[in-house]
Structure 1
């Protein structure tokens, strides 16, 4: 007598569901950023923005291409804010079949990595602000914020017109970002009638700025522009106070972070001004809701670029649906020909991958937190 096999109900359900599961198309989104080291706070914030977008996309279960439902997955890699590590990360993504990458965060990483991404046919979306990033003619490279040209100019114009500054010293950390934004600040500052008293140099690992600050103090500067990052700018602000150099410290978007207040303590207040690409998040229609969702998910407030990383991830998903394709070149073409209404503004790109329009907001600090002053 042949004995019938009895399939447990739970197993039978799995078998019945197998075809539906097999229909899911996994789309890996890569995140390249400094997840360790002094700028890890920024890298994690960027990662959180992408993660939140992916979780919301998967929860909707609405995106499909070729009859297959899309399931987005995040693959994060630490590029350490280092160009060599960033190139290794880019190749790792290429080998893993990643088609879309958010990052790198640092311009110095984005410039060499962009070539790897281009050669591998991967869409790269960066907040690196050095103009060189989008000058290589790569059709799938996008800058999701304003460039150094716009940010540096905004700080210079505000310093000249609103603060009436006349004699300014400049310091840069010799990184691609620091040099780029310092150059743009100097160019616009001179055009606005200010005098550049001196241009000093440091590194993105330095902690002692006494010598260069003393040199600038002797030139009687009424402000210092620093092209660099918060982990250096915060101790610089403290040392300015210790030296009796009671002038404003100006900078770009990398200073517009609560990390600046955290590291600088009471030496960081209304004396610090910075310019950040993008509009005032809390004043955007979708801004407060985004801030609330972010805080509920990650138990902290979003930092500088969580919202743009979130927005660009959503834009990529929109372009995939519009093009009905996962081919990065097809999706990139779609992104060049359409726009996306995000949390912090509208995203539409020119032929080089720069935003067609981008707001820049000037911030100062109050109780250790960036407070917006004006948008341009």
Structure 2
């Protein structure tokens, strides 16, 4: 009888330990395109999430007096809206505590409705279409400036600083590409420039000879492309083969180290100008440089664009859980929304009432000597 009681007691202890262990794991998901043409950007973001989670677990996370382990669940949306919503539903069904992602506006926006319905906080490190945070969802947050600032700043810069007069605008028909191209066009016209060609392609196209021939005929001195580096690289090569010597501009989608590789010798110094949504100044630069060095040592590759924003997104989400004393989305969401002056490697983070970062920065860059060079940080 004593043996039977001992076994039952041991089983009860094991069961309770198992339940306690289950309660000590908090799952956060990262979603981005880790397959397809811009997989290098999605992997960059995913690595930022991995680095943050490893550091948090090494330091120790305590929520409501209990030490917890942060588990990272990673999903691939392939930059495809349908796959993005399927992944979002999977994460909602899994009842994850929060989501960092998606990378593209085209996947982030449709997925945001699913996260909102499930009450799951979503922090996008890179989606710039204004619509994302203007749908009224209390669960949606953004860590970078939006297309209104991005396209607008580039448009004004093109007219006032680059002295452009005739502009060709191309977009890739995605939510991101169309959004940033539209804002660029509005800013160019407001600053006195003339849009002589308005063309479009797709995010999977490789042949641009037809639209580029049209642009050459209209003598555009600046070509703006709303899209990603995987398309911009081949486009620049074809511009060179057609003898188009215009300046080439784009948003954060082309502002990557990968563009330099994809375009190769088709790019001359000071020909390409882009703006990255985000940027640090002054004393904050040291923290960003330290992050980049740590990232390269860990993954053997340079930061592409948004890994630091994913890294900050994970950490500020966990900080909100710790402050609220709960990983339950309904309980820590108000604390996350009230984030003020969170000191991240990307700068100080404060959300406005829409979930947008307050006073978001933009970093203007060009390519010189085969490298991306920073020109200025603008707010």
* Correspondence for 2:333: 332
Structure-2 residue corresponding to 1:319: 320
Q: Aligned pair count?
A: 363
Corresponding residue number in structure 2 for 1:197: 196
Residue 133 (structure 2) pairs with residue 118 (structure 1):
no
SS at match of 1:284: helix
For residues 328-370 of structure 1, the C-alpha deviation after alignment (integer angstroms, 9 at most, x for no partner) is: 1332211222321111111111111111111101111134332
Q: Which residue of 1 aligns with 2:371?
A: 369
Which residue is 1:152 aligned to?
Answer: 151
Shift of 1:327: 2.1
Instruction: Give the equivalent residue in structure 2 for 1:271.
Output: 271
The separation in 1 between residues aligned to 2:21 and 2:44, in whole angstroms, is: 33
- Does residue 347 of structure 2 align to residue 349 of structure 1? no
Conserved? CA contact 2:275–2:364, under 8 Å: yes
Pick closer, same or farther for the CA change 1:319–1:196 going to 2, 3 Å: same
In the alignment, is the contact (CA less than 8 A) between 2:64 and 2:322 conserved in 1? no
How far residue 20 of structure 1 moved from its aligned partner, in angstroms, is 12
Please tell me whether the aligned partners of residues 277 and 359 of structure 1 are also in contact (alpha carbons under 8 angstroms). yes
Question: Which residue is equivalent to 1:358?
Answer: 360
- Partner SS, residue 32 of structure 1: strand
* Residue aligning to 1:293: 294
Whether the aligned pair in 2 keeps the contact of 1:24 and 1:69 (CA below 8 Å) is no
| 1:256-302 per-position Cα deviation (integer Å, ceiling 9, x unaligned) | 11110111111134211100011158961311211121111111111
CA distance in 2 between counterparts of 1:65 and 1:178 reads: 40
Q: Which runs of 5+ in 2 are unaligned?
A: 4-12
Q: Distance in 1 between matches of 2:112 and 2:153?
A: 27
Matching of residues 246-265 of structure 1 within 5 Å: 246-265=245-264
- Which structure 2 residues correspond to residues 56-205 of structure 1 after superposition, within 5 A? 56-61=55-60, 63-126=61-124, 127-205=126-204
Unpaired stretches in structure 1, ≥5 consecutive residues: 4-13
Give the Cα separation in 1 of the matches to 2:243 and 2:21. Answer: 67
Secondary structure of the 2:46 match is helix
For 1:145 and 1:362, the matched residues in 2 are separated by: 14
Residues 210-229 of structure 1 aligned to structure 2 (within 5 Å): 210-229=209-228
Question: Is the deviation greater in 331-340 or in 137-146?
Answer: 331-340
Q: Give the deviation of 1:24 after TM superposition.
A: 6.2
CA distance in 1, matches of 2:29, 2:18: 28
> Residues 34 and 19 of structure 1: is their aligned pair in 2 closer, same or farther, counting only changes over 3 Å?
closer
RMSD: 2.1
SS of the equivalent of 1:168 reads strand
Aligned residues of 1:98 and 1:122 also touching (Cα < 8 A): yes
Mapped partners of 1:336, 1:97: distance in 2: 20
State how far apart, in whole Å, the 2-side matches of 1:93 and 1:191 are.
Answer: 43
Within 2, Cα distance between the matches of 1:332 and 1:211? 49
Partner of 2:286, secondary structure, is coil
In the aligned structure 2, how far is the partner of 1:24 from the partner of 1:96?
15
